[in-house]
Amino acid sequence: MRYESVVEQRIREAQEQGAFDDLPGAGRPLRGLHGPQDENWWVRSYLEREGLPADVLLPTPLRLRREIDRLPETVRDMETEREVRDTVASLAARVAQWLRFPDGPQVAVRMPRADEVVAEWRADRAARTASPVPSAETAPPDPAPRRRRWGRLRRFLRRD
């Protein structure tokens, strides 16, 4: 006679009563079962399920460096210089906070400079306004369609 724990006994009884029938996903394969063995599969699935970027797992200095590198894209669509300067000031305050009380790996993090970011923002903004996208009215007409070369050969071959 085989020993059956209380948990196994309750599971067996529930199966016999049909408590596990008609569960959502019954009969479908488990996701990621045959994928590569990844020790952090649960972290990846959590991030995917919650819709979080993988950046939240980075240590503070690496996250700050990534934000500094992405600063031109972050401020590109801002309307005023004040918004750009406020965004840079907010990031600079977080960098200063980290420099005062560093945690994580000791990685060099440069302080973002508002004047450089604003100058780049102005140049990008001027370039976008100087070259407007052509509208349908000002666009040049489409070139005449090209003749197909094989049409002549097909007509020639059909004659025979």
pLDDT by residue (tens digit) across 61-101?
999 999 999 999 999 999 999 999 999 999 999 999 999 99
- 48 in a structural domain: no
Is the pLDDT score of 102 beyond 80?
Answer: yes
Residue 76 lies in a domain: yes
Q: Which runs of consecutive H residues, i.e. helices, occur in the chain? A: 6-17, 41-50, 60-69, 71-75, 81-100, 114-130, 150-159
Q: Report if residue 159 sits inside a domain.
A: no
Residue 149 is predicted with a pLDDT of: 59
Number of domains forming the structure of the chain = 1
CA-to-CA distance for 68 and 92, rounded, in angstroms? 9
Please check the confidence at residue 54 and state whether its pLDDT lies above 90.
Answer: no
- Those residues whose C-beta lies under 8 Å from the C-beta of residue 54, and which sit 6 or more positions away, are 47
More confident residue, 36 or 40: 40
Q: Across the chain, what does the average pLDDT equal?
A: 84
Q: Is residue 28 part of a domain?
A: yes
Assigned domain for 94 exists: yes
* High-pLDDT (> 70) share of the chain, %: 79
* pLDDT at residue 147 in the model: 58
85 in Cβ contact with 118 (< 8 Å): yes
Domain membership flag for residue 21: yes
Percent of the residues in the chain that have a pLDDT greater than 90, as a whole number:
48
Q: 55 with 66: CB under 8 angstroms?
A: yes
Residue 142 lies in a domain: no
Question: What is the pLDDT at residue 136?
Answer: 57
Report pLDDT for 151.
62
Residue that wins the pLDDT comparison between 129 and 145: 129
pLDDT, position 132 = 61
Q: Can you give the pLDDT at residue 44? A: 84
Q: Given this model, what pLDDT does residue 152 score? A: 61
Domain with 65, as residue range(s), is 6-32+55-127
- The average pLDDT across 132-153 equals 61
Residue 141 lies in a domain: no
